[in-house]
Amino acid sequence: MSGNRITNWVSAATADWRVRAVVLAGLAFTLQACGGRYQAPLDDQSAVLDRAPPAIYSTTGPSAIGGVAASAPVSSSGSSASAGSSGSAAGATAAPARAIAAGVRVQPADGVNVNVANDPGGIRRTSIARQPLGGSAPVTPPEPATATAPATASASASVTVAATQAPAALVGQSHIVARGETLYSIAWQYSLDYRALALANNLQAPYTIYPDQRLSLNIGSVSSNALQSVPAIQAAPAGAAAVASGQRPAAAEATRRTGNVPSRVIEDIAWQWPVEGRVLRTFSGSAATTSRGIDIGARRGDPVYAAADGDVVYSGRGIQGQGDLIIIRHSARHLSAYSHNSSMLVSSGARIRAGDKIAEVGTDSSGAELLHFEVRVDGAPVDPAGYLPSR
C-alpha cells in the first residue's frame, strides 16, 4: 500500500469515528431526556392526567344559599372518584350521581345536593323567601287559591249567589253606549248587575241612556243594600223612542208550548227547558270564556220558548259573538238569555209567559245548529242545570 493510500484511509477512519461518536452522544442525551420529567403538550395529557371539576352550586346543602362546594375530581374516562380520593372528611358518605339532563350526570361532593327540577328537595317557587328593601320581613309568595265548582241547587232548595263586585280588569274601565243597547245588555256583556251599573253612574229614574254616553264599569262602591232600593228599570234601547211595556206579543202567545211541561221552582220562579234537545256543552264559569252557559242541540228553525215568566229587556245583535240575542228579566235578580237565533218574535219591553215562543233556533259562528242558553243572578253567570228540571 502506498503512502498516499494509507494517509487517505486513516483520514476516513478518523472522520467515521467522529460521526459515530456524535450519533452515540445524541442517543444518550435523548434517552436521558425520556427518563426525566418531560411533559408532552396539554392536548396529549388527557389520557394520564385528572382534570379539576367545576364547582357545584347548591341551596339545599349545609352551606349558605349561594355557597360553592368543590366536588370530587372526575377523571377523563368519565368515572367519578371515590370519597376517599376526593379529600373528604373521614366517615363522610359520597352523594350519589344525579342526572340533570339527558345523558348528563353529576357526581356532587360530600354533603352537597344538586337541585333538579321536580325532584324532592329541589328549589320551589313557594320555598323562596324574598327580602324587600328597607330591612322588612321576607315576603313569601302565597299559595294559589283552589277554584271551587259552582253549587247546584236541589229541586226544593233555593240557589244562593253572593253579591257581585266589579272584576279587577274592569276597574277604571268604561263603555261607550251604542245605539240600540240597553242597560241590561251592557251589564250582561261585562257580567255586571244592571242595578249596580245604574247606581255607579248616578243614573236616575227612568234610567235612560243615550248613544255615545260613557258609562263607568267600576261598581265596587255600590253596596248590596243600595241595590234593594232600585225600582224596575225599563228596557228602552238607547236612541230609540220609549217602548210600550207589559204587552204580550200575539205571535208568541199563539205559538206557545202546550201540554204538560215539566218545570222546576227556584226562588218562586218556575223554570222549564227553552228548547228540546240534548246538551252539547255544559256550563263553564271561567273568565276566559265569553259564553258562560250551556249549548243545546236542535235543528235550525225549531221553536225557542221562554224558560220562565218575565219581561224582554233586550232583543238584538249588539253583543259580539252572541248573534241574535234575547234577554229576559224574571225578577230583579234573575235574568236569562237565548243566543244564536235565526229569527226573533219579541222585542224589548214585551211581557211573556213561560212556554211562549220567543224565537227560532239558528246556528253559531262555527255553523252548528244549537241554542246557547244562560242564566245570571245579580249579574253573575250560574249553571243553568241548577234551575232547569231534570229530564
Within a domain: residue 304? yes
Distance, in Å, from the CA atom of 221 to the CA atom of 214, rounded to the nearest integer, reads 18
Q: In this predicted model, what pLDDT tens digit does every residue of 131-178 receive, in sequence order?
A: 445 444 444 444 444 333 344 333 334 443 334 455 556 777 899 999
Q: How far apart are the first and last CA of the chain?
A: 140
Within a domain: residue 331? yes
Q: Which three cell numbers stand for residue 154?
A: 236541589
Expressed as residue numbers, the domain containing 214 is 168-386
Distance, in Å, from the CA atom of 115 to the CA atom of 212, rounded to the nearest integer, reads 59
β-bridge pairing 369-377 and 357-363? antiparallel
Q: What is the pLDDT of residue 346?
A: 94
Q: Could you tell me how far CA 256 lies from the centroid of its own chain?
A: 44
Domain with 200 in it: what CATH number? 2.70.70.10
Nearest to 181 by CA among 68, 378, 315, 27: 315
Distance, in Å, from the CA atom of 284 to the CA atom of 337, rounded to the nearest integer, reads 16
Q: In this predicted model, what pLDDT tens digit does every residue of 264-296 receive, in sequence order?
A: 999 999 999 999 999 999 998 776 666 689 999
Q: What is the pLDDT of residue 55?
A: 52
**Mean pLDDT confidence for 336-342:** 96
User: How many domains, in total, are found in the chain?
Assistant: 1
Per-residue HEC secondary structure of 191-249 comes to CCCHHHHHHHCCCCCCCCCCCCCEEECCCCCCCHHHHHCCCCCCCCCCCCCCCCCCCCC
Q: Which amino acid is at 388?
A: L
Does the pLDDT value for residue 189 go beyond 80?
yes
The DSSP secondary-structure symbol of 170 reads G
Lowest mean pLDDT among 32-46, 135-149, 174-188, 342-356: 135-149
φ, ψ (nearest 5 deg) of residue 29: -65, -40
β-bridge pairing 310-316 and 351-352? antiparallel
Residues 6+ apart with CB under 8 A from 92: 83, 110, 111
Within a domain: residue 229? yes
Per-residue HEC secondary structure of 98-161 comes to EEEECCEEECCCCCCCCCCCCCCCCCCHHHCCECCCCCCCCECCCCCCCCCCCCCCCCCCCCCC
Q: Which three cell numbers stand for residue 186?
A: 251592557
Nearest to 218 by CA among 182, 169, 252, 178: 169
Within a domain: residue 202? yes
Within a domain: residue 16? no
Q: What is the pLDDT of residue 105?
A: 58
* Predicted structure pTM score: 0.58
Within a domain: residue 131? no
Within a domain: residue 125? no
Within a domain: residue 45? no
Lowest mean pLDDT among 6-15, 210-219, 249-258, 360-369: 6-15
